[in-house]
Amino acid sequence: MKRVLLTIEYDGSGFYGWQRQQGMRTVQEEIEKAIEKITDRPCEVQASGRTDAGVHALGQTAHFDLPCPVPISKLAGVLNSLLPLDIVIKKAEIVPDDFHARFSIKSKTYLYKINTSEKKNAFISRYTSQVTYPLDYQKMRAAAKIFLGEHDFKGYCASSAVTSDYHRTIYDIKISQKKNELDIEVEGSGFLYNMVRIIVGTLVDIGRGKLTVESAKKALEGGDRAYAGVTMPPNGLYLKCTKY
């Protein structure tokens, strides 16, 4: 038995998210089915975390235990030939037996893509979220600083988030812009449910002058979701990479 870590890219627009759900097309099920074709045994793949319906991944990571001797250098290629076109195994590597894709994690980076063009484009709506209001990028960059470091993020998660500890650490937020694309990258120790989408929504609301930095701070300090910005839609969100 060898524990294997997969690095996975997927177009989330054709899936009901990562997690296996009866009767739904999910990334987890597609990958487990592909592995089971090789091993002929039931397999459970553990991801660094779930992604919602419509959310993409450039570098999701997930581990599983390989019960039979498959050369690790061939594994990604074989899996890719068995997987549908919208899932790609970018890397497969052996990790120690006590490694865990979720619990061994040091940081995770999400990327949120915003299309700032005023024109509708039929081909990018699955992959970016359109914001047609003028945005003040300087204000957004300044506001991003309030999130850095360790905070209680109770005001920045969906009310349905179930956890006993709302503390998370944000290591970095990068805002970069090229033509009509605004990219917001958030690296943190971990994220609560909808946390990235609400942080990005708060930055957008500040950038368009709908929300003040003071209100965003209040949501952070008082834990009251009502003072934070909107939850951005899932289609602009990418799990970019994980660090162990």
Give me the residues that bind its own copies (CB under 8 A), please: 9-11, 56, 80, 85-88, 119-123, 125-127, 130
Say what angle helices 72-82 and 27-39 make with each other, to 10 degrees.
120
Minimum CB distance to its own copies, residue 76 (Å): 10
CA dihedral 108, 146, 216, 208 (to 10 degrees): -90
Three-state DSSP class for residue 73: helix
- For 88, the token pair is 């790609």
Tokens of 115: 């299309």
Shortest spacing between CB 120 and its own copies, in angstroms: 4
CB 131 within 8 A of CB 140: no
Q: Compute the least distance from the CB of residue 226 to its own copies, in Å.
A: 28
Q: Which is nearer to its own copies, 56 or 240 (CB)?
A: 56
| Beta pairing class for 237-243 and 56-66 | parallel
Residue 8 CB, shortest distance to its own copies, in Å, is: 9
- Nearest to its own copies of 49, 59 (CB atom): 59
Distance CA 112, CA 236 (A): 5
Dist CA 213 CA 156 (whole Å) = 14
Catalytic-labelled residue, pool 11, 40, 52, 86: 52
Our CB check for its own copies shows the closer of 89 and 219 to be 89
Spell out the residues 6+ positions from residue 22 whose beta carbon is closer than 8 angstroms to its own: none
Q: Please tell me the distance from the alpha carbon of residue 54 to that of residue 44, in angstroms, as a whole number.
A: 22
What is the 8-class DSSP label of residue 243? E
Q: How far is the CB of 232 from its own copies (least distance, A)?
A: 14
8 or 140: whose CB is closer to its own copies?
8
* Distance between CA atoms of residues 19 and 25, nearest Å: 9
Q: How far apart are CA 189 and CA 136, in angstroms?
A: 28
**Which residue number, 130 or 202, has a Cβ lying nearer to its own copies?**
130
52 as an active site residue: the answer is: yes
Active site residues: 52
